[in-house]
Structure formats: structure tokens, C-alpha cells
């Protein structure tokens, strides 16, 4: 989402490069609002929009529209490249964290698609599974459908198939039965927004999976959230303060039945909040943190932000380039 938002603003700057400064500013603000409203519960999208708008502010009013377009395209490319490096680091940390059971394959449950199709080129949690598979470690991955948009059924299974990793698809409603029947070693999730107290918003159904993992009959199953550290927001105190992301009710009819239903009434949240006590660890590019390690997350976020800020302060030098 962060990469899409960045390129959206970069494209807007390119398309408005020949307009007046006031018109360019107005259009960038309009597009920023439109993108933000499309996914209000995505911290990375929110962060990316703020990052690129800071670049515009740093350039000031003396540069041309073409220079702004060049600067934003460069920033979007940099963000996308950094994301691939970050995700590779996350995958390496996650792969090292997963257990190595004696005498049987590793069993992992994945909800959603924390892979390349939703992360851009590399992927996080699913890439970790690919790294383990490349080591020759036997494993079996259980993938929820992830209703109503079927990210698991449509996306995660496709990625795992192409990676040659053995996997089984199950309905979201079958997670409790799976945990009763199989020795699941870990649950891997992504994240949309992490509050200061560790509460974590992720694709709808994540809370149910995490709660069931904690109550598994074979013993609690660790839940690892694989996400960039910039998903952590120290200014959001807890899960109740994370912006809600409620999708249009009509999408339920389209995705669940394949038919657009007239006057459909429905409640269609795009994400729910996992209580911090149900998260075993946050696996980030800056290392692995527990939900109670707020100071560690703040320090890691500050270090990551310093690296980003360096690109913002360097941008005005583009104004003199051809």
C-alpha cells in the first residue's frame, strides 16, 4: 500500500507538471485525501503519503512542476527499493524464528497473504517459508481462505504453489478444528497498524485466528506478526484508536456470491484488532520485538525514520539538475 500511494502521488505530480503552482498543490492535496480515504486503516499508506508530502514541502514554491515530479518519482522508487530490502530482512528474521520439529514437518498456519503479491516483489512471511524450504526443511502450510476477498485462496495458494511448498486450503471457520487435529507450530500474519501498546490491526479474521491459537488444545501456538517497523505508530495508544476500515457492503455480494445484489445491507470491516497479549513477536527489518517492548520499537522506528529523513533533506538538490 505504501508503494502504491507513493507512485500515485508521483504520477499526479507528473500529470500536473505544466499547471500553475496553486493548481499543482491543490491536485496533490486532493489525490492525497482520496488515497487516504481508500484505506484509512493502513498505517503504511498513511506514512507513505506523509513522507512524500514532506518532500513537496521541503522543495518549496521556487521549483518547477517538472522538478517536483522528478523528486517524487525518485522518492517512490527509493521507497519501493527500500521495501524490498526491508521485506528480505523480515523474511530472514522470521525464517530463523520458526522452530525445527523433530521427526515431522514444520506446520505453519497463514491467514491472508503476507507474500509478494501484497508486499511487492519480495514478500514477508511467505518469503520466510520459501527460505526455509530452500534449506530443505520439510514443511506443510495451512492457508485460510481469508474471506470475504479470499486473499488466502486466491493469492497465498498461488505463491506457495509456484514456490513448490506443500499446502492445504481451509475455510476460515475451520481454524478451530485444524488446531484440534494438527500440531501447528506457528501462525504467521501481516499487519496494517500497530498501536503503542502492541494491539495490532490486520486483515479481517486475524483476531479470531490469534484467539484460537492461544486456546489450542495442544498448547498455545505462537503468533508472529511479520511487518515493517514503520507499521508501528507510537501516537496511537491502543487498538481502539486505530482508524476503522469498513468496506462497502456491496462488495460482500460480489465476492461471496459472485452476483451484485441490489440494496444489500451488510457489515464489511476490512480489518480487526489482535490484542497485544495474543501476539508472540513482531518480526521487523530492524529485528524481533515483543509487544511489551514499546521502547525497543520506538528506538527502531526512530532509526528507520532517520534513514528516510536523509532522503527528504537531500531532495532540494534536485532543483538544480537538468
- The CATH number assigned to the domain holding 190 equals 3.40.50.10470
Question: Which residues have C-beta within 8 Å of that of residue 170, sequence separation ≥ 6?
Answer: 142, 143, 144, 145, 178
Do 217 and 166 lie in a common domain? yes
3-state DSSP: the chain helix, strand, coil percent, rounded to 5? 55, 15, 35
Residue 300 located in a structural domain: no
Joined together, the cell numbers standing for residue 69 give: 515530479
DSSP run (H or E) holding 256: helix 250-257
Residue 297 located in a structural domain: no
Q: What are phi and psi of 147, to 5 degrees?
A: -75, 160
Do 48 and 179 lie in a common domain? no
Average pLDDT, the chain: 90
The answer on pLDDT for 315 being more than 60 is no
CA distances to 59, 69, 238 from 64, in Å: 10, 9, 42
Reference 144, options 195, 200, 94, 208; nearest CA is 208
Question: Which residues have C-beta within 8 Å of that of residue 145, sequence separation ≥ 6?
Answer: 152, 153, 169, 170, 171, 172
99 prior amide bond cis, ω within 30: no
Residues 24, 63: Cα–Cα separation, whole Å: 12
Q: How confident is the model at residue 298 (pLDDT cuts 50, 70, 90)?
A: very high
Reference 292, options 304, 303, 278; nearest CA is 278
**What's the domain range around 98?**
89-291
Residue 49 located in a structural domain: yes
Residues 137-161: what's their mean pLDDT?
95
- pLDDT reported for residue 259: 67
- CA 204 vs. chain centroid, Å, equals 13
- pLDDT reported for residue 254: 74
Residues 210, 219: Cα–Cα separation, whole Å: 13
Residue 296 located in a structural domain: no
Residue 149 located in a structural domain: yes
| Dihedral, 107, 112, 300, 197 alpha carbons, nearest 10 | -100
Q: What is the DSSP letter of 248?
A: P
Do 251 and 315 lie in a common domain? no
Domains in the chain, number = 2
Do 197 and 244 lie in a common domain? yes
Do 163 and 40 lie in a common domain? no
The answer on pLDDT for 135 being more than 70 is yes
Do 60 and 116 lie in a common domain? no
List pLDDT tens digits, range 61-111. 889 999 999 999 999 999 889 989 999 999 999 999 999 999 999 999 999
Residues 150, 144: Cα–Cα separation, whole Å: 8
| E strand residue ranges, the chain | 106-110, 139-144, 167-170, 186-189, 193-194, 200-203, 223-226, 271-274, 281-284, 287-289
Residues 162-184: what's their mean pLDDT?
96
Given a contact cutoff of 8 angstroms between Cβ atoms, the answer to whether 149 and 175 are in contact is no
Do 132 and 12 lie in a common domain? no
Given a contact cutoff of 8 angstroms between Cβ atoms, the answer to whether 93 and 287 are in contact is yes
Amino acid at each position: 500500500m505504501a508503494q502504491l500511494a507513493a507512485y500515485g502521488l508521483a504520477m499526479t505530480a507528473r500529470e500536473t507538471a505544466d499547471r500553475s503552482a496553486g493548481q499543482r498543490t491543490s491536485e496533490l492535496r486532493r489525490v492525497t485525501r482520496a488515497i487516504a480515504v481508500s484505506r484509512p486503516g493502513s498505517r503504511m499508506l498513511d506514512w507513505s503519503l506523509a513522507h512524500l508530502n514532506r518532500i513537496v514541502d521541503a522543495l518549496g514554491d521556487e521549483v518547477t512542476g517538472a522538478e517536483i515530479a522528478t523528486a517524487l518519482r525518485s522518492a517512490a522508487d527509493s521507497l519501493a527499493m527500500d521495501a524490498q530490502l526491508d521485506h528480505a530482512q523480515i523474511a530472514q528474521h522470521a525464517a530463523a524464528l520458526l522452530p525445527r520439529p523433530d521427526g515431522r514437518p514444520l506446520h505453519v498456519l497463514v491467514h491472508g497473504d503476507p507474500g509478494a503479491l501484497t508486499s511487492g516483489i519480495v514478500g514477508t512471511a511467505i518469503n520466510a517459508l520459501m527460505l526455509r524450504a530452500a534449506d530443505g526443511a520439510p514443511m506443510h502450510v495451512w492457508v485460510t481462505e481469508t474471506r470475504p476477498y479470499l486473499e488466502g485462496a486466491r493469492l497465498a495458494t498461488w505463491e506457495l504453489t509456484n514456490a513448490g511448498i506443500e499446502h492445504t486450503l481451509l475455510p476460515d471457520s475451520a481454524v478451530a478444528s485444524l488446531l484440534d487435529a494438527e500440531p501447528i507450530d506457528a501462525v504467521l500474519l501481516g499487519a496494517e497498524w500497530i498501536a503503542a501498546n502492541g494491539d495490532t490491526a490486520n486483515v479481517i479474521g486475524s483476531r479470531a485466528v490469534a484467539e484460537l491459537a492461544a486456546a489450542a488444545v495442544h498448547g498455545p501456538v505462537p503468533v508472529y506478526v511479520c511487518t515493517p517497523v514503520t507499521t508501528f505508530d507510537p501516537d496511537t495508544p491502543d487498538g481502539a484508536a486505530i482508524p476503522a476500515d469498513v468496506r462497502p457492503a456491496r462488495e460482500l455480494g460480489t465476492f461471496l456470491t459472485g452476483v451484485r445484489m441490489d440494496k444489500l445491507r451488510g457489515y464489511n470491516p476490512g480489518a480487526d484488532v489482535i490484542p497485544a497479549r495474543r501476539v508472540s513477536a513482531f518480526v521487523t527489518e530492524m529485528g524481533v520485538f515483543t509487544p511489551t517492548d514499546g521502547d525497543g520499537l520506538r528506538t527502531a522506528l526512530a532509526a528507520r525514520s532517520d534513514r528516510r529523513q536523509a532522503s527528504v533533506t537531500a531532495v532540494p538538490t534536485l532543483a538544480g539538475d537538468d
